[in-house]
Structure 1
Amino acid sequence: MELKFIVPNKEETFGDCKFLGFKREKFVYDQVNQKRTDELESRTYNLAASCQGGPVEVVLPSNVELKEYDFMQDVELVNPIIEARVDNGGRFGTLVWTILAEDIRIKGSNANSTKVTPAAPATPATNDKK
């Protein structure tokens, strides 16, 4: 059995969340040319989580608009999951937990639902019948 990710109980895992701010952007790395591209892959934000006793990093996909909430604004995560990976360092490894979410929104606000930037269609739609 391979465990892909964990879907947490938001209230028990994070408790009350406060927005601390934007942390960083991650860009796609071109493996062929061995360099970073200008294509955005994800954004990372810091949240204060009462049940964790401190700040946690939450990663949002690039298609979600930049979040610019007030410092210490009450927020909630939309469909969070937790992934684990191992960073190898010589003969030892370190387990790293990553929190991924579809969005971060102001707590109790339905008007601030996920705003996703539409992707360009892969192929143009045509009515050609061949």
Structure 2
Amino acid sequence: MRLAEGIVIDKEKTFGVLKFSALRREVHINNEDGTVSDEIKERTYDLKSRGQGCMIQVSIPAAVPLKEFDYNAEVELVNPVADTVATATFRGADVDWYIKADDIVLKNKQAISHVKNQQPQPQNKGK
């Protein structure tokens, strides 16, 4: 069976609270001769997942700007998908799971932006 779009994830049930840790690695595109180019294909980040009880790695396309959030900042994934890569062995196959997403964003970014954009209201002291 092949799931062309991977397995769509219910973010809250699967990951619970996600906290940003760090950039884990950058994956570069290989040149035609097999050497590694300077062009980045994707970036993988370490995130702490309360739902999984451990650190998870999530890959984001290189077209998305580098994420440099504060350590332990609460984040969420945009359109996360789980997928697999299988490698044939003498006994069958080894299967590795991976998670990819369209982006990683701050969990309360909209709320913070909204508060920053509000102007203080003058208080009527009732004379």
Cα distance between partner residues in 2 of 1:67 and 1:45? 9
**What corresponds to 1:81 in structure 2?**
81
**What corresponds to 2:22 in structure 1?**
21
TM-score (norm 1): 0.78
**What corresponds to 1:124 in structure 2?**
none
**What corresponds to 2:124 in structure 1?**
none
Gaps of 5+ in 2: 113-127
Q: Give yes or no for the alignment of 1:104 onto 2:104.
A: yes
Listed one character per residue, the Cα deviations across residues 74-115 of structure 1 (whole Å, up to 9, x for unaligned) are 000011111111133x41432111110111111022389xxx
Greater per-residue helix proportion:
2
**What corresponds to 1:57 in structure 2?**
57
After superposition, the Cα gap between the structure-2 partners of 1:63 and 1:3, relative to the gap in structure 1 and judged at 3 Å, is same
**What corresponds to 1:127 in structure 2?**
none
Q: Structure 1 residue 11: deviation in Å?
A: 0.4
TM-score (norm 2): 0.80
**What corresponds to 1:11 in structure 2?**
12
**What corresponds to 1:47 in structure 2?**
47
Give the share of equivalent positions with the same residue, in percent: 37
Gaps of 5+ in 1: 113-130
Cα distance between partner residues in 2 of 1:16 and 1:26? 26
Listed one character per residue, the Cα deviations across residues 29-77 of structure 1 (whole Å, up to 9, x for unaligned) are 12x3121111110000000011111000000001000000111110000
After the TM superposition, which segments of 4 or more aligned residues of structure 1 sit over 2 Å from their partners? none
**What corresponds to 1:68 in structure 2?**
68
Describe the SS at the equivalent of 2:39.
Answer: strand
RMSD: 1.7
Number of residue pairs matched? 110
Larger radius of gyration between Structure 1 and Structure 2: 2
Cα distance between partner residues in 1 of 2:94 and 2:27? 21
Cα distance between partner residues in 1 of 2:80 and 2:62? 16
